[in-house]
Amino acid sequence: MNRFDGVKVLVTGAGSGIGRATALRLVSEGAAVFAVDLSREGLAETASASASGPGRIVGRVADVADEGAVIATVDAAVAELGGIDVLVNVAGMHRTTPIGRLTVADMKRLFAVNTIGTALFCREALPHLPDGSGVIVNVASSAASHGNPYMTAYAASKGAVLGFSLSLAAEVAHRGIRVVPVSPGSVATPLAGPQVLPPDLDTSYYGRIRAPFGTAEPEQIAGVIAFAASRDAAYLTGAELRADGGSHI
């Protein structure tokens, strides 16, 4: 018996990293996954990697920051899957910028993708989620609650995801719908690669962070997301799951 047999899941950011690993994990456990991403190539790679799973996957290109695209995407997912049981918001972007170089354009895009994109998918999916078993998992970040230099705007956008998720959990609890923010620490994906750190910054701070369990593979975060989305977590809502390999103990 797979945990996600017959479960219909919409996953954003499924064209790379944590979102791809999550889509693959859910398909391997029987889910029907509607995978969303900006990258057509990324979605195609995810779909071909999932070919042997017992579940199935359908991809759609969309910008999560585009309200019209989000509305159309949720409609398409409902039509394709016959409903949505679980929403997993993973799509996100990162900018590493010292405070003196922060631009309004950078801040607006970070919030548009990370925060507003997440909020729009929640708003649009909620009318379709079943009372008593619907689940939303929103990927925040350990940066939402722990300071990191040059990450002010990113951290603010993720802190907003965390706060949004906790309040949403309170708002929809009467329907028996769970909302779980998952906050990864450092994960080996393109988003966290060295290219996101401008070369002239003092990065010695990062060298001092000790993660006893090292950097995560995306599959390790996918495992936490799958748990949060499953019936194994039926009593879990409105609580952050921080999966950071012990970086802050």
Which residues are known to be catalytic? 154
Q: Which residues pair with 187 in a beta bridge?
A: 216
Strand positions, DSSP E, 90-228: 135-139, 178-184
Q: Which residues pair with 216 in a beta bridge?
A: 187
Q: Which residues pair with 34 in a beta bridge?
A: 10, 58
By CB under 6 A, residue 181 contacts ligand NAD:
no
Q: In the complex with ligand NAD, which residue's Cβ is closer, 17 or 53?
A: 17
By CB under 6 A, residue 243 contacts ligand NAD:
no
By CB under 6 A, residue 17 contacts ligand NAD:
yes
The count of chain residues that interact with ligand NAD, using the rule CB under 6 A, is: 30
Give, as ranges, the residues between 128 and 147 that touch ligand NAD (CB under 6 A): 139, 141
Q: Which residues pair with 35 in a beta bridge?
A: 11, 59
Q: Among 45, 63, 67, 219, which residue sits at the site for ligand NAD (rule: CB under 6 A)?
A: 63
Half-sphere exposure of 209 (CA within 13 A, CB side): 20
Give the three-class secondary structure for 32: strand
By CB under 6 A, residue 65 contacts ligand NAD:
yes
**Mask 88-127, x = binds ligand NAD (CB under 6 A)?**
--xxxxx------------------x---x----------
- Secondary-structure percent of the chain, ordered helix, strand, coil, rounded to 5: 45, 15, 35
Helices (H), 143-244: 152-172, 204-208, 218-229
By CB under 6 A, residue 57 contacts ligand NAD:
no
By CB under 6 A, residue 224 contacts ligand NAD:
no
Binding site for ligand NAD (CB under 6 A): 13, 15-19, 37-39, 42, 63-65, 90-94, 113, 117, 139, 141, 184, 186-187, 189-192, 218
